[in-house]
Structure 1
């Protein structure tokens, strides 16, 4: 199982390469670039990758095979794929992300090839639907899946719960971590809330502590008092 120097990561939603280059990352083990809800396009990844000093994972906009291929061609360390709702969908992701014979992804003269990107990028399936939670053990056991990543906000909506700190959502996150441990894959989650930090499993391999948006807001408050 791949490990990170520090499980804590920062979720990027809007900053560009210049701001990232100026950002201290000594206490971060990874960065997540949000292509689903952030302002980024796939074409923005190369610039961020050039200045990043820790591994970069991209939260894909969707599980579309052509989109995933373009994201991986940039040389990111891996993809976090949202909206997985079943084992069958996870099997489709393996096919899209892995080269033959494991999958059907095509190779070519890509940035990943030119700069020596990861030969086998990580594939993390987001558990943020009731369907994915139902199939969580089977998804974790699937060859080609490297980890599970909890999206507690969408998961709370899918479960009909009032928010990510609800007891049912917290229990679901623990269930995801147990499934990942049982099958030797990574367990991760997004937080963005200090109360939620304390409720999520303490031994996660990846924890997106917060976003660059929060960093800017907190920094402004600290500077201006």
Structure 2
């Protein structure tokens, strides 16, 4: 998963490896398969990873839940990183990191999956390969904002990802554009940067990308494959 400097990706919500192949021909730095809010089973995720390898587009997965089996299977098939929803406390972050690690963690080991070269790597090299998962913790509740510094301080957490919509709901609001949500997001940006961690977020368009990049957000997920397709199709039709 790309590290350092501004990196731009998009969400993938369509269960088709051809989408990854097409995006791999673009200038995107990465993509995120949204297994939390879109219909991806384990076999489909595996096909998405096959396409990722074919075109050299790093693929993270927003997992549907924090559980050892989900994290194990996602990393075994070769995901370059995890976007982990609802990390509200440092303890949840520590649990997540333990689930990603063979050494000193609770991740089960097999040398046969894609991440270990289908049995071609020694056990030691396979264990080394398993240490490299890029882990972004979603900060999407008022509680998580309060605990952001402690979450960022957990060894193995690479960054904080601001989840605007759920953050607004947790604050009793129904607009991600509410100034109180923006203020909370600014706190997370400042906290992540002070901790030397990557700060990420979802934005709808290039203007938002540039605005938040200027504030130090480095890992930006712009729109989704669905939105990009719809907007491109709309652009073909004259206004009427």
Q: TM-score, normalised by structure 2?
A: 0.84
Compared with structure 1, are the counterparts of its residues 100 and 24 closer, same or farther at alpha carbon in structure 2 (3 Å cutoff)? closer
Q: Is residue 71 of structure 2 the alignment partner of residue 68 of structure 1?
A: yes
Q: Is 2:101–2:131's contact at 8 Å kept on the other side of the alignment?
A: no
Q: Match of 2:83?
A: 80
Compared with structure 1, are the counterparts of its residues 197 and 171 closer, same or farther at alpha carbon in structure 2 (3 Å cutoff)? farther
Q: Match of 1:107?
A: 109
Give unmatched runs, 5+ long, in structure 2. Answer: 122-128
Compared with structure 1, are the counterparts of its residues 224 and 15 closer, same or farther at alpha carbon in structure 2 (3 Å cutoff)? farther
1:40-93 Cα distance to aligned partner (Å, 9 max, x none): 123222222222332111000011111111111111111011012212211211
What number of residue pairs does the alignment pair up?
A: 224
Q: Is 1:57–1:77's contact at 8 Å kept on the other side of the alignment?
A: yes
Q: Match of 1:156?
A: 168
Question: Distance between the aligned counterparts of 2:24 and 2:71, measured in 1?
Answer: 29
Q: Match of 1:95?
A: 98
Compared with structure 1, are the counterparts of its residues 25 and 188 closer, same or farther at alpha carbon in structure 2 (3 Å cutoff)? farther
Q: Match of 1:42?
A: 42
Give the root-mean-square deviation of aligned CA atoms. Answer: 2.3
Q: Is residue 30 of structure 2 the alignment partner of residue 30 of structure 1?
A: yes
Q: State the structure with more CA Rg.
A: 2
Alpha-carbon offset, residue 223 of structure 1? 2.5
Q: Match of 1:209?
A: 222
Q: Is residue 62 of structure 2 the alignment partner of residue 54 of structure 1?
A: no
Give unmatched runs, 5+ long, in structure 1. Answer: none
